[in-house]
Chains A and B, each alone.
Chain A
Amino acid sequence: ETGVTQSPTHLIKTRGQQVTLRCSSQSGHNTVSWYQQALGQGPQFIFQYYREEENGRGNFPPRFSGLQFPNYSSELNVNALELDDSALYLCASTLGRLRNTEAFFGQGTRLTVV
């Protein structure tokens, strides 16, 4: 098991609501990335945070936003939830640049929007 923990593990929300997902990175890792994995698909990059600053963003609308805290834990916030936001949300942490270290993934949060 990796040291990356995500909470909650499962969540059900209603369309239009807002949701916050949380991720605690592996000890010593200062970079956190978030991915969305829809059913039957590969994970898609949402954004990355490095030392509390956004450091790259995928093709997701602004209602997907994030934060990274001084202890390098992170939050993913999604506003105005849509049915298509139903997915497994994965958090990955790395120590600096990916080329030198592998990304460790958490178990994910399964979000269902009804």
Chain B
Amino acid sequence: AQSVTQLDSQVPVFEEAPVELRCNYSSSVSVYLFWYVQYPNQGLQLLLKYLSGSTLVKGINGFEAEFNKSQTSFHLRKPSVHISDTAEYFCAVSENRDDKIIFGKGTRLHILP
């Protein structure tokens, strides 16, 4: 069965500092990987996705993620965060044969002034 583990429930970081949000997944087959962002009182917005090809994926708002098959990880990074990046970030996985998306529990990103 698929599962997603987000290793940090909260990550505080100073404005303009770099950030990494960690995600590990488990699946017995090839997977598609996603990062979604949820701003307060809103739905989910796709930041980026890995379907195949290059393991470094670039998304919106300056975020990028690297797929590491051997470590079953898909960590999200941004070189310099802004106060507007304050939100909940969800890592998610979907198997080839199945359209349902399995989400992690989320990481709350706190930007400190």
The interface centre, meaning the residue of B34, B46, B98, B99 with most chain A CB atoms within 10 A of its CB, is B99
- The prevalent SS among residues of B at the interface is strand
Chain A nearest CB, measured from B45 CB (Å): 7
Inter-subunit contact B99/A42 (CB<8 Å): no
Inter-subunit contact B90/A43 (CB<8 Å): yes
A27–B32 Cα distance when bound, in Å, is: 24
Q: Is A3 an interface residue (CB 8 A)?
A: no
Residues of B within 8 A of A48 (CB): 99-100
- Chain A interface (Cβ < 8 Å from any Cβ of B): 2, 4, 31, 33, 35, 40-45, 48, 55-56, 58, 90, 92, 94, 97-99, 102-103, 105-108
Residues of A within 8 A of B99 (CB): 31, 33, 48, 55-56, 94, 97-98
A43–B93 Cα distance when bound, in Å, is: 12
A92–B105 Cα distance when bound, in Å, is: 18
Residues of B within 8 A of A92 (CB): 44, 101
Residues of A within 8 A of B103 (CB): 35, 42-44
Inter-subunit contact B100/A99 (CB<8 Å): no
Residues of A within 8 A of B4 (CB): 42
- The prevalent SS among residues of A at the interface is loop
Residues of B within 8 A of A108 (CB): 42-43
Which 5 residue pairs of A and B lie closest in terms of their CB atoms, listed nearest first?
A42-B103, A105-B44, A105-B43, A98-B99, A45-B100
Inter-subunit contact A58/B46 (CB<8 Å): no
A-B contact pairs, 26 of them (CB 8 A): A2-B43, A33-B99, A33-B101, A35-B101, A41-B106, A42-B4, A42-B106, A43-B90, A43-B101, A45-B101, A45-B102, A48-B99, A48-B100, A56-B98, A58-B100, A90-B43, A92-B101, A97-B99, A98-B32, A99-B51, A99-B94, A102-B49, A103-B46, A105-B43, A106-B43, A108-B42
